[in-house]
Structure 1
Amino acid sequence: MNQSQDGLQQQATSGNVCFVQSYAKINLTLDVLGKRADGYHELATIMQTIDLYDTICLTRLAEDRVSMNCNRPELSNDYNLVVRAVQAVRQKLGLHQGLAIELHKRVPVAAGLGGGSSNAAATLLALQQWWNLPLSMQDLWEIAASLGSDIPFFLTGGLALCEGRGERITPLASHWPATMRWLLLVKPDISVSTAMVYRNLTPDDYTNGGWSRAAEVALQTQSKLQASDLYNSLERGVLEQYAEVARARQEMLDAGAHYVRLSGSGPTLFTTFDTLTEAAAVQQKLQSQSYEAYLTHAIHPGNNPITYF
């Protein structure tokens, strides 16, 4: 496994136990180009890994079974993407090695941050290295894409342009604006149906992908990236359909955020700051209003340095 893959997992193994860190992401931009013949939507989105992660512990079992235990009880089942990733590997290679999975969730669930997708990708990479499996990156990509549209991104992480359903990944050089050093995420206490958000899109919400392309160029040429450039085709519909999200956005602005954007299909909102002092002050104000507020930053999980400009 190359350095970037190893770094992505932040893997620690000892005999029959493997610990893995599984990082979340934000959508810096999200263009929806239109609906495809297969029922999915064609996307162009800039995604970035962030330093907010779940921890997965994998333990070998003598018997031929896979078990799941999560600190979020509703995720302790065979539908969990980690279990599905393990079973996909076992089925593809005809393996009978048993595994006990423990998942400590810190990334908010169903929040537009890709937590479940990241869990699946980190598990695939961990098994490939830990069990020394004869799986190429193409094999892993095929398994990942079969499980979910966001999962292939997490096989590499960092900064990337994702197209198609999100499964076509173009890794980008890790350039990031210094004015966006600190990321503040706010998760309203509400669940948003991704399927419903996409169903409620109107033709006016569709773009030609220009927002994501422009952001890509600005980042790669280390040019100024304006808050107004961070477009999300889903944001209008989410703000109109979910009053709690619209209220959280306004309260972030009232607390001192210079702008607020939706990550993915939400409901998580994010803003950025160039100093910790300002970021922490806004976070404290929002936490005093009982919001889940996470202060984090962009990372490249492969331990590749980020160039700030």
Structure 2
Amino acid sequence: MESNVTENPAAIAGWREKWPAPAKLNLMLKITGRRADGYHLLQTVFQIIDLCDWLTFHPLSEDKVCLQEQIPGVAETDELTVRAAKLLKQHTGYAGGVRIELEKNLPMGGGLGGGSSDAATTLVVLNRLWDLRLSQQQLMQLGLQLGADVPIFVFGHSAWGEGVGEELQAITLPEYWLLIIKPDCHVNTRQIFLAEGLTRNSASIKMIDFIAGDYSNDCTAIVTSMYPEVKNAIRALSEFGEARLTGTGACVFAVFVDENAARAAYAALQSEWVVYLARGQNQSPLYKKLDRE
């Protein structure tokens, strides 16, 4: 694709504004098989939530992608927003650049998809700011090169997911209150998926089974056996509701219909745990902002 640099990219609305990169929860997770390349076949339900990182994009006329401030412990070349912007440039031939300002609020290694969401927001917003006009499907395909969770955030809606998590069907979920505990550990996702005792042949279910209450997560037994901090978090949260693991963790969550009950549980747990109070969203906050622009 030929370069598509506008004469004055800063004139396009959206530069230097804060753009949300929301978190997600896996409300259930089944591992139904394994591909020849080692990737696991999944069934899952993604729910977008209103906890967000925030990204601001500053236009550069030169062919350069950089961060405003480096993330501690992460090389700039490895940071997913930088990789996403470079991938977009490489795919389209865009000759301009960008400086990315990242306000990091979501915990790393918690299973909330923070890095993947940052990458997705970068792809979606720069596609607009650079006037590249790629379709959502094209952006999802690019995102899959960066990580299996990136497509759900490009998709931007709560969804039923299959394949490696990239085959998505939009669904409407109750936008309940959610209490999330981040245990003091960083779960190694690759280690979990390589674990000998991991269930890899769960029977597929239908959406009606999930609606009827099948919220099981095939990773829970392995994660809690390897990470006692996660097991303790589930025990603590279970005093207030049904505690469940999101993805491979480390975060655990409980769903609350009543806001007051959620806030009471938050108040009871916050002195001993890192706790987040959130609410489910069917449409991503990113797309709500795009729709307003």
Q: TM-score, normalised by structure 2?
A: 0.88
SS at match of 1:297: strand
Aligned counterpart, 1:200? 195
- Name the aligned partner's letter for residue 222 of structure 2: G
Distance 1:276 1:71, change over 3 A: farther
Match of 2:237 in 1: 252
Give the superposition deviation at 1:258. 2.0
Q: Which residue does 2:279 correspond to in 1?
A: 297
Residue matched to 2:26: 27
Match of 1:231 in 2: 216
Question: CA, structure 1 residues 175+245, in 2 after alignment: closer, same or farther (shift >3 Å)?
Answer: closer
What's the % identity of the aligned pairs? 34
Q: Structure 1 residues 279-288 or 189-198, which shifts more?
A: 279-288
The reply on whether 1:240 has 2:225 as its aligned counterpart is yes
Change (3 A) 1:15 1:183: closer
Q: State whether residues 32 and 44 of structure 1, in contact with CA within 8 Å, keep that contact through their aligned partners in structure 2.
A: yes
Instruction: Find the aligned partners of 1:151 and 1:133 in 2 and give their Cα distance.
Output: 19
| Aligned residue in 2 for 1:46 | 45
The residue number in structure 1 matching 2:7 is: none
Structure 1 residue aligned with 2:133: 134
Return the alpha-carbon distance in structure 2 between the equivalents of residues 15 and 124 of structure 1.
Answer: 14
Aligned to 1:258, the other structure's residue is in SS state: coil
Q: Aligned residue for 1:3? A: none
How much is the aligned-residue C-alpha RMSD, in angstroms? 2.0
Q: How many Å separate the matches in 2 of 1:279 and 1:114?
A: 22
When residues 89 and 284 of structure 1 are mapped into structure 2, their CA distance, relative to the original with a 3 A threshold, is same
Q: Which runs of 4+ in 1 moved over 6 A?
A: none
Unaligned runs of 5+ in 1: 1-12, 219-224, 305-309
**Partner Cα separation in structure 2 for residue 68 and residue 110 of structure 1:** 21
Q: Tell me if 1:86 matches 2:69.
A: no
Q: How does 1:134-283 map to 2 (within 5 A)?
A: 134-172=133-171, 174-176=172-174, 181-202=176-197, 204=199, 206-210=201-205, 214-215=209-210, 218=211, 225-226=212-213, 229-253=214-238, 256-283=239-266
- Equivalent residue letter for 1:52: L
Residue 231 of structure 2: SS of its match in structure 1?
Answer: helix
Structure 2 unmatched runs, 5+: 1-11
Secondary structure in 1 matching 2:112 = coil
Give per-residue Cα distances to partners, 1:270-298, cap 9 Å, x unaligned.
00112222211211221111x11000111
Q: Does 231-240 or 91-100 show the bigger shift? A: 91-100
How many equivalent pairs are there?
Answer: 275
* Contact preservation (8 Å) 1:45, 1:163: yes
